[in-house]
Structure 1
Amino acid sequence: MTVEVRRAETDAERADALEVRRAVFVEEQGVPEDLEMDGRDGESIHFVAYDADAAAGESSERDDADPGPDNRRPIGAGRLREVGEGVAKVERIAVLQPHRGEGVGREIMRTLEATATERGLSELVMHAQTPVEGFYRDLGYETTSDEFEEAGIAHVEMAKSLA
């Protein structure tokens, strides 16, 4: 599978990102929709990952998302939100269940971090769900807190310097 991650610039791309987030956080993990849709989307940079092979007619039977622009299937999403001088928060990283373990999350993070660097940001912070803490640690993030609960799910704070 070929993954294409892009900044969600159009309404359709933003809708694709929200579709993935809703599927993962609300439907799969049971996060209340009012917590998932927290009113901060307008101040954030959104990213959406597509199965580029689906656009070439190699759609997988595992895909259950509606095709996006150019018949691509959205399979992952994330957002980046500036929270202070030189600091941004990585949020809402989501990959549809059939595509986990295929490098989609890693590609989303690579694109998100490149965008943060282009914007002159020096540090990224996040609240990571504890089951994926190791994934983020492998990408250079350090755990900076004890475990805490957010939306009924165990999390830890993590940070990475981009300087």
Structure 2
Amino acid sequence: MNVVKVSTETQLQDAYNIRNKVFVEEQKVPYELEIDEFEPHSDHFVLYSEGTPIGAGRFRVLDGKGKIERICVLSLNRGSGAGKIIMGAIEDHAKESGIVILKLNAQTYAIPFYEKLGYTVVSDEFLDAGIPHKTMEKIIT
């Protein structure tokens, strides 16, 4: 498995297709909430396994912090370490960009995954697209 920082239209479409399958089709998030106004201002990442896209994520800088968003892995590939690989690539990108604080809004069921990666809950529960979330942060060095 390898993560690519999106640099072509084909790679961007791979990211959008994975996000559509996971968030829109599987989790029933409205498409207009999934693909938003921040797309052009974000760095996108795609995880490939033997040339097939299986995961994606998005990164942008907000108020001096790195904001990790839209982390997803196709259902058949969950539990394979794919999510950890995507997160590692995004964290490396953040470090290279000089970012030291990372923030993400985790679906509550995914909090244990992010805690294993060193993230800490910093908010109360809130709804995003009707799904319970909590904000988490991590300091990277």
Shorter-chain TM-score range: over 0.9
Partner of 1:127: 105
Partner amino acid, structure 1, of 2:61: E
Name which of 42, 48, 51 aligns with 2:49.
51
Give the deviation of 1:146 after TM superposition.
1.2
Greater C-alpha radius of gyration:
1
Displaced runs of 4 or more, over 2 A: none
Partner amino acid, structure 2, of 1:16: D
Give the deviation of 1:19 after TM superposition.
0.5
TM-score, normalized by length of structure 1? 0.85
Partner of 2:131: 153
Within-5 A mapping of 1:1-163: 3-52=1-50, 72-85=51-64, 87-163=65-141
Equivalent residues, number? 141
Query: CA RMSD of the aligned region, Å?
Result: 0.7
TM-score, normalized by length of structure 2? 0.98
Partner amino acid, structure 2, of 1:94: C
Q: Secondary structure at the match of 1:156?
A: strand
Partner amino acid, structure 1, of 2:20: R
Instruction: Provide the C-alpha distance between the structure 2 equivalents of 1:109 and 1:49, rounded to a whole number of angstroms.
Output: 10
Unaligned runs of 5+ in 1: 53-71
Instruction: Provide the C-alpha distance between the structure 1 equivalents of 2:100 and 2:56, rounded to a whole number of angstroms.
Output: 22
